[in-house]
Amino acid sequence: MLTRRQLLHVATATAGITLGLAATGAPPAFAADEYDTLRLRWIDKTLLGTGYDSSDEPFATLLALTGSTAAGFLADMNPTSTSLWDDLPIGSVSGNVTSSYVRLKWMAQAWAFDGTGLTGDADLLSDVLTGLDWMYANAYTPTTTTYDNWWDWQIGAPRLSLDIACLLYAELSSGQLADYFEAIDAFVPDSAVSSYSGVSTGANRVDLCRVLILRGVLAKSSAKITTGVNGLSPVFPLVRSGDGFYADGSFIQHTTVPYTGSYGSVLISGLAGLLSLLTGSSWEVTDDNRQLLFDAVTDAFAPFLFNGLMMDGVSGRAISRGVKVVDNPLGIQQDDHVRGHLIIGSILMLADAASATEAATWNAMARGWLERDYWAPLLQDSYQTLPVLALGKSVLEDTSITPTAEPVAARVFGSMDRATHRRGSWALAVSMCSGRTAFYECINGENLHGWHTSSGMTYWWGDTYGNGQYSDAYWPTVDPYRLPGTTVSRIALSDGQGGSRPAPSSSVVWVGGATDGTYSALGQDTRGLGSTLVAKKSWFCLDDQVVCLGAGITATDGYTVETTADNRNLGATASNALVVDGVTQSTTLGWSGTFTGASWASISGVGGYVFPGGATVKALREARTGAWSDINTESSTTSLTRRYLTLWFDHGTDPTAAAYSYILLPGATSTVTAARAASPTVSVLANTGSIQAVTDTATGVTAANFFAAGTAGPITVSAPCSVLIRESDDTLSVSVADPTRAAATITVTINRSGYTKATADDGVSVVGLSPITLIVEVGGAQGASRTITFGTGTTVTAGVYTKLTPTADAYVRDGSYATTNYGSTTDLDVKNTGTGTGYNRRSFLKFDLSGLAATPRRAVLWVRGATSDSAGTQATVTGYAVSSDSWTETGLTWNTQPALGSALSSGSIGSAKDWIPIDVTSHIQTQYAGDRTATVALAEASAGVVVLLASRTNSTNPPFLQVITG
């Protein structure tokens, strides 16, 4: 393997070879400075890797493949006036520009890396340099007018060309470098990261910053590096709308698509490389919010990693790529394991910039994931880069690292309509969608049949089985109308039906659920893509079983509606036995059956299915053939055949209020399944279009999804919500979430009593103990759960809830508007420009406290609205104490506004309308003890974007003050 010195000075180390320098001019003067250190570190961290012997496996094979692939590109390279390679004409398809650089990078690596068979080859180097100059002169020039896909011009081509320049730095003249930089600057100017908007967000922003930073390293420009580093700052903070990480661990890209496993991978990979590169340098990334990225490893990525794979439900259109025919010379399949390995490698690289404690935690998790990956072990994954393989092998061989076991946890990712349920021997994930997220994404000819992947698709894997379920040619061969867990119409859909990112109506908001971290209640107000289908669906995730309910299933299109309990990919040759009520069914391909009054079924080596009360279930054993090109225009046309065993409920044509219920038992044998059917622990309390609820004697869990206010078992609620209670020994826990995000508070009554102690999350107030009655603050939680546990903690007494409306409210504006009154508007505006006048706004609200019967023990001001500003989508609103109450609604102006006192608390808001809770308890207590009139001001503590809130005269969601006394 080439040493750092050899990489810098290989031109002089190759006897008698000028390596093209005579034609391109003298090489730049070299000095061993910080820029050179960073350039070499980039090679070590992201291109070559360290700490391995190139003659060992899997490195020797990968290096040899690099050489043979480069040799093929070298042989086919044929510079003409229109192309560098005949099959990549330049001029209309921007991807051909990127692909040309992809091939040049393969060739540069074959020349630079040891063990390729072409290491230091003069002809190869000469052709790479020729290719780079050809691209500058004909394809990626400072004056080229862009066409086709913006990504190729701003990310694909420049990112690759900079990697090549790092490898060939000593062989490039100052003139060549200047030319390449000029081209990059034309497409990726500093202004590309001046505004966090458009395509310059999330993973794309990280890639743009990578271009700027590496451009600065190679050009030895501190200013360019600084611009790139500063451009990373908007990526780190949590968001409440649009692209980025959310407080619950969700990750969104393209505004509405869950993308942890694809764009999220690009983001963490890019940030890992850059943070590792810059650690300890003059440009180290020191943004305080970078800790949020480190937190995302456990909060956002780890929940979707299982035995080395990244769950497909958060990988968007990437699931359709399979064997790409573009930029995939080795013909390697992309799948969930490949994506998982990429992310694990990024996590291990990111450890360079993290604390020792974090690094140790991540290493232990990584070893657990990789050791358990029996289906597609990392060290057999030829898709991975040398650095990823080196990091993975190092962890696997480090006996001091104790692998982390599979967790027992339940997570609801309400901001991207996803959920996971993890147990020691299996894991499950559910993919849903709402007016906030897309049914699926279909752009660039990818994911053409992804129509129903968010219609309640239920994925699950076992510890020693099923890890190839979605890896083994699943997506091109599965029936896309019969995805496990989904309820869909059989109405025929076209490729890419609905457009690039079709979403349900904005009125579809009940999607998500409640969790206590161990168990969960999930629900989806389901709509059909391209159909009139409506349905309510629920999943109640318990210890060894998942209860699946559906109700209100209705459609009027004239097509059959089906719910698929499972559609197992048995592989190319397997014939797993299907047993229904103790009878083993045929293993002949093409066999089908209808079972009336079925009590249970099982698939050997897979799991069991119980049908409470009996059900009519259909089954089919078939071989299905397809090609990746059927669902992705850039993928292989090779036909693939896989065997499937499908179980489904046929709701008939145009059903009205149809229903289903089944219990999934992952890994259960037929004996275990039969026993559970005979002696169930679960009872279904309700399964209607309004309420779905169950109770389980094995766990003490009672859970209900209320699509409307109502009662189920011991639970009564005042508004739509999800509730999960767990009774164990002398404790009772209650978890509540509002998937609709419509309510500020919800009253929840549990028909239980006798508890005198409780421990509660902020936002849960007890207003009754017999029965237990709670005021749960769900507003602004973005669907997250609030939990209270009775029987432990401090003594609890019941308070009294009072809702107060403002007696006056108004906003004020400075500059030429400083004497204008805005007391009659339906909005309350807030904005801090940071500089200048005329656009700063504050809002004031006044409340009469005289009707309160006792001193408040909690007071929360609730306001609802959203950001509305072209400069950004995220804002923080702060509540301030105001001592003067003499202002009037019709007289208040900027010039007459009362002085702001101390800051009370703050709440965040995005571009989607939501409630903002402002805790004003201390101020309300003071004012109650005084004149019993309270004024609260709302403002931004630092420069931000405008926030529009509903005023008291707004007919929709006006502000109010929640007060708990007693």
Instruction: Report the catalytic residues.
Output: 204, 254, 263
State how far the Cα of 608 lies from the Cα of 160, in Å rounded to an integer: 49
Run of H or E residues at 799? none
State how far the Cα of 335 lies from the Cα of 329, in Å rounded to an integer: 17
Residues with Cβ within 8 Å of 291's Cβ and at least 6 positions away in sequence, in order, are none
Closest to 627 measured CA to CA, from 619, 616, 639:
639
Run of H or E residues at 484? none
Pairing, β 721-728 against β 701-706:
antiparallel
Could you list the beta-strand ranges (E) of 279-353. Answer: 305-306, 309-310
> Alpha carbon of 714 to those of 144, 685, 719, 767, 938: distances in Å?
69, 10, 16, 17, 40
Closest to 444 measured CA to CA, from 226, 798, 149, 879:
149
Q: List the structure tokens of 577.
A: 């036995």
State how far the Cα of 778 lies from the Cα of 509, in Å rounded to an integer: 15
Residue 817 per-residue DSSP state:
G
State how far the Cα of 664 lies from the Cα of 779, in Å rounded to an integer: 33
> Alpha carbon of 587 to those of 374, 423, 567, 624, 649: distances in Å?
27, 31, 15, 15, 21
Run of H or E residues at 614? strand 607-626
Supply φ then ψ for residue 796, to 5 degrees.
-120, 140
CB 712 within 8 A of CB 737: no
Q: Where are the alpha helices (DSSP H) in 249-306?
A: 263-278, 290-296
* Cα maximum dimension of the chain: 96
Number of CB atoms found within 10 A of residue 731's CB:
17
State how far the Cα of 407 lies from the Cα of 428, in Å rounded to an integer: 12
CB 300 within 8 A of CB 260: yes
State how far the Cα of 252 lies from the Cα of 242, in Å rounded to an integer: 7
Q: What is 130-154 written as a DSSP string?
A: HHHHHHHHHTS-TTPPP-S-HHIII
State how far the Cα of 342 lies from the Cα of 672, in Å rounded to an integer: 38
CB 667 within 8 A of CB 425: yes
Bridge partners for 802 per DSSP = 963
Q: What is 485-548 written as a DSSP string?
A: T-EEE-----TTTT-SS----TT---EEEEE-SS-EEEEEEEE-TTS--EEEEEEEE-SS-EEE
**Per the omega criterion (within 30 degrees of 0), is the bond before 58 cis?**
yes
CB 616 within 8 A of CB 650: yes
Instruction: List for the chain the helix, strand, coil content (%; round to 5).
Output: 30, 30, 40
Residue 822 per-residue DSSP state:
B
Backbone dihedral region of 133: left (phi > 0), alpha (psi from -120 to 50 degrees) or beta? Answer: alpha
Run of H or E residues at 125? helix 122-138
Q: 3-state class of 319 per DSSP? A: helix
Number of CB atoms found within 10 A of residue 280's CB:
10
Residue 48 per-residue DSSP state:
I
